[in-house]
Chain A
Amino acid sequence: MSDKIIKKEELTNILKALKETYEVIAPVKENGFYSFKPFKDGGNIDLNFTNTRLSPKSLLFPQSERIFEFNLDEKSKDGYIVKEHPKDYPPSVIVGIRPCDAKAFKLVNINFDNPEFKDPWWVKRMEAMTFIGLGCNEPSSTCFCTSVGCGPFNEESLDVMLFDLEEYFLVRALTEKGEKLLKQGRVDKDVDEGLQKKADELRIKAEKKISSSVPTDKLKEKKINDLFNAPFWDDVAFACINCGTCTFLCPTCWCFDIQDEVTKTVGDRIRNWDSCMFPLFTLHASGHNPRPEKVQRVRQRFMHKLNYYVDKYNTGVACVGCGRCVKYCPVNVDIREVFSLMNGL
């Protein structure tokens, strides 16, 4: 399918048309911050953002999700039997996702959908989701996507890409899923040569605007124990207060906990986001804790992203360079510096 063009003000109507078939999710500004929310007919969508504060990971992996249910009535036939909680997986489309956040879904997918075990909730939501990306004309000073295998107009994890050309969007279908969606939304006007050229220039300009970079070339050859026992971890961890903001905001952090909650005789099994920054994460019942100290937990976060993941899956680092952890860390722990330390060891 050749590239299409739409006028910016047409977008709302296209999304309205898509709403007949899809759940539409779009960036919305609330209380001064952007996040992804269901699109309302009134048009709450707001594409004037650099990056949402929260990553969109909760769309496939909710922060808290009921996974099973049960009743604790001994007289009932199915008392104490844990059962699946019925769920819907309607076809959905996320509009305006940044290429880095889309790539993060791809990186995390390796964990939730592997040859031995499939996480049913993640897999079904992933299947039902279509990703309409929005290229970044103005990357932020904390973005370093181009040095971790992504980029402001990286297409690899998207179904459709939007190029913001002032009064127009150039619309590029990248997959069959994307083509189907454009047909559904009746996006069919071919782009002219001038705008096509403008979009190409935009991409090149944006890549040049990424001012921040990290070295990764030597990470693959590093030995796990050399990095683990490196002398710099105390310095890296010194200021960290183990607040967990970094793992909470990070689009590639996926660790979770499972808890049962009971009210009288009925209960739910719930899965919640968790964080390797917390001491309880690894505490054994015996009192033994393999990571009792802050420095061990900080090391775990960086080792996981820049070494363990790299060695295990051979698809590069588990970081897409979105810069959230850099921007929101209250004490300025900066993963870009840790890249340099680990790569340079």
Chain B
Amino acid sequence: MADNPYLPYPVKIQQIITETEDKNLKTFKLVFLNKEDEERFTFIPGQFCEISIAGQGEIPIGIASSPTEKGFLMFTVNKTGVVTRFIHNMKEENIIGIRGPLGNWYPWEKMEEKNVVVIGGGFAFTTLRASIVYMLHPENRNKFKDITVVYGARSPGLLLYREEIAEWEKRDDINVHITVDATDDPNWPYNIGFVPTVTEQKITTSEDSYALVCGPPIMIKFTQPVLEKVGFTPEQIIMSLEMRMKCGIGICGRCNIGDKYVCKDGPVFSLAQLNELPKEY
């Protein structure tokens, strides 16, 4: 973190990848302008940054690349409002800023020697991608037991990181279950069905496991009972939350749930922690 926690590091957009056929999601590969900033920036999967665009403002976005991927940072942005729309119209070589890394991370120490179940829906797959790449790295893979992924989108064209996921499919050190709500492609090689349904079919034990769950509220609502049915306790279910944010460092007072600031005490919470807090998110 810089000495002034509000001051962004300048970065350059190195590459822009359109992820989905509706063009609403683009991945931005960013490189630091200053070597010292890059050296200072060390992060853990699950953390996020404030992406800062001079003249437009700042938005909190999860870090989609893994710390094992060197030389760049990756963010996948859904086009919704003022700042996200603006960044979608930017070009490679443009200068923006990032502040971070911010927030906490997935509980990596607790997950060591455990099975890890990753459940994602829609575009909330960004820090989950970072986590999978991190776990699959040769230096890390043997720290974890089985890795199982259930990832779904409305249709095949809306899946993020498709080529990469197809590569994971082929490996034998990770079980990947891709699903779509519906498709008219008769040769669709993967699952058809909602994430909770596929989770029910594929995740049959909670033994020695942690589940990382990120997705739209409706997906979370129906996935939670499925996990509980096979014995996941609230401590074993880990989620990442979104709240409207500004400072990202627990000072501006905007993003609280009870006495926790999602930007600083989160965004990662176990269901057990959330059960202790007011339902106001």
Interface residues of A (CB under 8 A from B): 67-68, 70, 72, 79-82, 84, 111-112, 114, 116-120, 224-225, 228-229, 254-260, 262, 267, 269, 274, 276, 281-286, 288, 290-291, 296, 300, 303-304, 307-309, 311-312
Query: Which of the candidate stretches B49-57, B134-142, B176-184, B230-238 sits at the interface with the other chain?
Result: B49-57
Least CB distance from A23 to B in Å reads 23
Which residue of the partner chain, among A224, A267, A300, contacts B276 with CB atoms under 8 Å? A224
A303 to B280 Cα, complex, angstroms: 12
Least CB distance from B208 to A in Å reads 31
Residue among A67, A111, A112, A269 having the largest count of chain B Cβ atoms under 10 Å: A269
Least CB distance from A232 to B in Å reads 15
Interface residues on chain B, size class: 35 or more
Are A257 and B246 in contact, CB atoms less than 8 angstroms apart?
yes
Least CB distance from A64 to B in Å reads 14
Q: A70-B54, A285-B84, A290-B280 are in contact. Are A304 and B251 (CB under 8 A)?
A: no
Is B197 part of the binding interface, using a Cβ–Cβ cutoff of 8 Å? Answer: no
Least CB distance from B17 to A in Å reads 21
A112 to B249 Cα, complex, angstroms: 10
- What are the interface flags for B1-28 relative to A under an 8 Å C-beta threshold, 1 for contact and 0 otherwise? 1011111101000000000000000000
Kindly list 12 other residue pairs between chains A and B, CB separation below 8 angstroms, not including A80-B54, A80-B96, A274-B254.
A70-B54, A80-B10, A81-B10, A117-B251, A117-B264, A224-B276, A225-B277, A228-B278, A260-B55, A269-B54, A284-B244, A303-B278
Least CB distance from B58 to A in Å reads 7
Are A81 and B259 in contact, CB atoms less than 8 angstroms apart?
no
Tell me the B167-204 residues at the A interface (CB within 8 Å).
none
A225 to B256 Cα, complex, angstroms: 14
Is B107 part of the binding interface, using a Cβ–Cβ cutoff of 8 Å? Answer: no
Are B250 and A308 in contact, CB atoms less than 8 angstroms apart?
no
Contacts of B281 in A (CB 8 A): 290
Is B97 part of the binding interface, using a Cβ–Cβ cutoff of 8 Å? Answer: yes
Contacts of A67 in B (CB 8 A): 6
- What are the interface flags for B80-96 relative to A under an 8 Å C-beta threshold, 1 for contact and 0 otherwise? 11001000000000111
Provide 16 A-B residue pairs closer than 8 Å at the C-beta atoms, listed in order of the A residue: A68-B6, A80-B53, A81-B33, A81-B95, A111-B251, A117-B249, A228-B258, A257-B252, A258-B247, A258-B252, A269-B54, A274-B252, A276-B253, A284-B242, A286-B80, A303-B258
Which 4 residue pairs spanning A and B have beta carbons closest together? A255-B253, A285-B81, A308-B259, A285-B80
Which residue of the partner chain, among B96, B242, B264, B280, contacts A291 with CB atoms under 8 Å? B280
Is B243 part of the binding interface, using a Cβ–Cβ cutoff of 8 Å? Answer: yes
A-B contact count (CB 8 A): 123
Are A81 and B249 in contact, CB atoms less than 8 angstroms apart?
no
Least CB distance from B226 to A in Å reads 23
Tell me the B92-117 residues at the A interface (CB within 8 Å).
94-97
Contacts of A296 in B (CB 8 A): 280
Are A72 and B280 in contact, CB atoms less than 8 angstroms apart?
no
Q: A72-B55, A119-B251, A260-B55 are in contact. Are A311 and B259 (CB under 8 A)?
A: yes
Q: A116-B250, A291-B280 are in contact. Are A304 and B256 (CB under 8 A)?
A: yes
Contacts of A282 in B (CB 8 A): 243-244, 254
Are B251 and A112 in contact, CB atoms less than 8 angstroms apart?
yes
Are A255 and B54 in contact, CB atoms less than 8 angstroms apart?
no
A114 to B252 Cα, complex, angstroms: 13
Least CB distance from A174 to B in Å reads 28
Which residue of the partner chain, among B5, B55, B244, B264, contacts A70 with CB atoms under 8 Å? B55
Least CB distance from B191 to A in Å reads 26
Contacts of A79 in B (CB 8 A): 95
A130 to B251 Cα, complex, angstroms: 24
Least CB distance from A63 to B in Å reads 14
A114 to B249 Cα, complex, angstroms: 10
Are B256 and A308 in contact, CB atoms less than 8 angstroms apart?
yes
A317 to B94 Cα, complex, angstroms: 47
Least CB distance from B42 to A in Å reads 16
A286 to B242 Cα, complex, angstroms: 11
Contacts of A290 in B (CB 8 A): 243, 257, 280-281
A65 to B118 Cα, complex, angstroms: 43
Least CB distance from B147 to A in Å reads 30
Least CB distance from B75 to A in Å reads 15
Which residue of the partner chain, among B57, B81, B94, contacts A80 with CB atoms under 8 Å? B94
A259 to B57 Cα, complex, angstroms: 6
Residue among B5, B95, B251 having the largest count of chain A Cβ atoms under 10 Å: B251
Which residue of the partner chain, among A112, A117, A258, A308, contacts B258 with CB atoms under 8 Å? A308
Least CB distance from A308 to B in Å reads 4
A112 to B55 Cα, complex, angstroms: 25
Tell me the B31-70 residues at the A interface (CB within 8 Å).
33, 52-58
Are A258 and B246 in contact, CB atoms less than 8 angstroms apart?
yes
Least CB distance from A258 to B in Å reads 5
A282 to B280 Cα, complex, angstroms: 11
Least CB distance from A193 to B in Å reads 48
Chain A residue at smallest Cβ distance from B278: A228
Which residue of the partner chain, among B10, B55, B97, B258, contacts A267 with CB atoms under 8 Å? B55
A84 to B251 Cα, complex, angstroms: 19
Are B58 and A258 in contact, CB atoms less than 8 angstroms apart?
yes
Contacts of A82 in B (CB 8 A): 7-8, 10, 52, 54, 97
Contacts of A257 in B (CB 8 A): 246, 252, 254
Contacts of A117 in B (CB 8 A): 1, 5, 249-251, 264
